[in-house]
């Protein structure tokens, strides 16, 4: 109910804003092409037909983020309980990939269906409606190796992940909300306790993938993981197949599939800045 009211308000604000300031022709073109590009990327999932058409803006304008989150901010300020792992995954001992801020979840569903890895996939997302839709898709597709949770990853990751019975093999934080203003940086999903928890819970050899189309956000995440040189090495040091540019950003997407934000950003001509770390040592050594 609150979400519907918020969505209505937001749609009005979007209309108002676009009426005041027309989009440049290049942006108009990208906006029109973006959904098609996303559908094309995930065509084999055939998801659109499986859910009643609800109005979930794929990428909410950042200036409206406080309005959107306000309705449930209090409910996500406390850590979310971990699920009964044996109820959500067929084999809860498999290595786990966690996607933090998974958005629509198509990226993770695609991996769960197509990657061919014996792995479980967990998406953490703060927008409940997105999680409901994603979990609906998962059930419709009959996948037993992927699960989505409504949670504030910043405060819940440790509680959720420390109880997982298998190894944590991969964590991704892909195109997180940038929160540009300095006084809003504290709202960014990747805060020091989360970095610590990821580093601590990763299994030896486990990896972290970070990426953003906003250089400043990518650099901020990079600085945080670079702060664990005893435990994490950048993958180009341990895997000679992965190459970086002169600034240390990965040249290619190592996942074999792009996220939705990545597709939109690349259509607009943006560069994606990526780093991938591998855990080389536990903290106690
Ligand atoms: C810009 S979108 C990117 C989505 C997806 N990773 C992609 O690349 O397409 C960022 C997502 O992170 C979610 N998010 C923001 N803060 C979060 C938090 N503290 N915990 C979980 N999800 C969060 C937002 O709701 C949004 O869906």
**Per-residue pLDDT reduced to its tens digit, 165-208:** 999 999 999 999 999 999 999 999 999 999 999 999 999 999 99
Q: What's the CA-to-centroid distance between 111 and ligand 1, angstroms?
A: 18
Question: Residue 268 domain-assigned?
Answer: yes
Q: Percent of the chain at pLDDT above 90? A: 73
Question: Residue 285 domain-assigned?
Answer: no
Please report, for the domain that includes residue 128, its CATH number: 3.40.50.150
Give residue-wise pLDDT tens across range 39-94: 999 999 988 767 765 555 555 444 444 444 444 444 688 999 999 999 999 999 99
Question: Residue 19 domain-assigned?
Answer: no
User: In this structure, what are the phi and psi dihedrals at residue 276, rounded to the nearest 5 degrees?
Assistant: -135, 125
CA torsion angle 59 126 92 277 (round to 10) = 70
The Cα–Cα gap between 199 and 277 comes to 10
Active site residues: 177
pLDDT of residue 76: 82
CB 148 within 8 A of CB 125: yes
pLDDT of residue 99: 98
Best mutation site among 70, 100, 101, 218 for ligand 1 pocket (most ligand atoms within 8 Å of CB): 101
Residue 98, ligand 1, Cβ within 6 A:
no
Domain span at residue 62 reads 26-279
Q: What's the CA-to-centroid distance between 240 and ligand 1, angstroms?
A: 31
User: In this structure, what are the phi and psi dihedrals at residue 174, rounded to the nearest 5 degrees?
Assistant: -115, 120
Q: What's the CA-to-centroid distance between 129 and ligand 1, angstroms?
A: 13
The Cα–Cα gap between 164 and 154 comes to 17
Q: What's the CA-to-centroid distance between 152 and ligand 1, angstroms?
A: 10
Question: Residue 14 domain-assigned?
Answer: no
Index of the ligand 1 atom closest to the CA of residue 69: 25
| CA-to-CA separations, 149 to 76, 98, 101, 121, 223, in angstroms, rounded | 12, 11, 10, 11, 28
Question: Residue 69 domain-assigned?
Answer: yes
| CA-to-CA separations, 93 to 100, 102, 145, 284, in angstroms, rounded | 20, 22, 11, 24
Instruction: Count CB-CB contacts under 10 A for residue 19.
Output: 8
Question: Residue 235 domain-assigned?
Answer: yes
pLDDT for residue 101 is more than 60: yes
Question: Residue 15 domain-assigned?
Answer: no
Count up the domains in the chain and report the number.
1
Q: How confident is the model at residue 24 (pLDDT cuts 50, 70, 90)?
A: very low
Question: Residue 21 domain-assigned?
Answer: no
User: Which segment of 26-35, 142-151, 234-243 scores lowest on mean pLDDT?
Assistant: 26-35
Residue 123, ligand 1, Cβ within 6 A:
no
The Cα–Cα gap between 207 and 233 comes to 9
Residue 97, ligand 1, Cβ within 6 A:
no
Mean pLDDT calculated for residue range 269-284? 94
């Amino acid at each position: 109910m609150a979400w519907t009211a918020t969505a209505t308000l937001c749609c009005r604000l979007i209309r108002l804003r676009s009426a005041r300031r027309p989009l440049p022709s290049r942006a108009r073109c990208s906006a029109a092409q973006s959904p098609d590009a996303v559908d094309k990327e995930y065509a084999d999932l055939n998801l659109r037909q499986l859910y009643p058409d609800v109005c979930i803006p794929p990428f909410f304008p950042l200036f409206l983020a406080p309005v959107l989150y306000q309705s449930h901010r209090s409910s996500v300020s406390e850590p979310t309980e971990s699920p009964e792992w044996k109820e959500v995954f067929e084999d809860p001992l498999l290595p786990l990939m966690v996607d933090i801020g998974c958005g629509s979840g198509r990226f993770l569903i695609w991996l769960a269906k197509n990657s061919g890895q014996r792995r479980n996939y967990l998406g953490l997302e703060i927008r409940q409606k997105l999680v409901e839709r994603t979990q609906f898709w998962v059930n419709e597709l009959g996948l037993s190796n992927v699960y989505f949770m409504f949670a504030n990853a910043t405060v819940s990751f440790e509680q959720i992940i420390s109880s997982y019975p298998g190894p944590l093999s991969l964590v991704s934080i892909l195109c997180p909300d940038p929160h540009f203003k300095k006084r809003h940086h504290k709202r960014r999903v990747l805060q020091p306790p989360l970095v610590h928890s990821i580093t601590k819970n990763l299994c030896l050899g486990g990896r972290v993938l970070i990426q953003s189309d906003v250089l400043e956000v990518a650099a901020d995440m990079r600085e945080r993981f670079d702060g664990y040189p005893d435990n994490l090495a950048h993958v180009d040091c341990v895997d000679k197949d992965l190459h970086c540019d002169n600034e240390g950003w990965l040249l290619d997407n190592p996942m074999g599939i792009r996220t939705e934000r990545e597709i939109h950003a690349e259509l607009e001509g943006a560069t994606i800045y990526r780093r991938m770390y591998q855990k080389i040592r536990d903290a106690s050594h």
